[in-house]
Amino acid sequence: MMIDTGASGTVITPLMAEVLGVVRTGRGLANTPSEQNVEFDLGEIISIEVGGAMASNLTVAIAPALEVGLLGQDFFGQYDVTIREDVIEFRTRG
């Protein structure tokens, strides 16, 4: 997964959805850097944990054009994020 500071939502690949057993719950529209009003399948993720940071009950977009998933603001928006050369740190705001 990549951190996408400009994305409001989290996006996974179809392979990730298959491996995780994500059930598609509908369709949604989103604007991407290259296109407006792109339609995606949507699914529910019980939880995602990365480096001690965790988000629960996320609706994710499933994007066939991506080779890697993107963590958006819905995942890390509640954390202070520090991006270093080879590490990303998540700290709970408090």
Per-residue pLDDT of the chain (94 residues; tens, 9 = 90+): 899 888 999 999 999 999 999 989 999 988 777 778 888 999 999 999 988 899 999 999 999 888 999 999 999 999 999 999 999 999 998 7
Q: Torsions phi, psi of 81, nearest 5?
A: -115, 130
Residue holding tokens 């940071």?
53
Structural class in CATH, domain 2-92: mainly beta
- Dihedral class, residue 86 (left if φ above 0, else alpha if ψ from -120 to 50, else beta): alpha
Count of other CB atoms within 10 angstroms of residue 43: 20
Domain boundaries, the chain: 2-92
Please give the model's pTM, rounded to 2 decimal places: 0.86
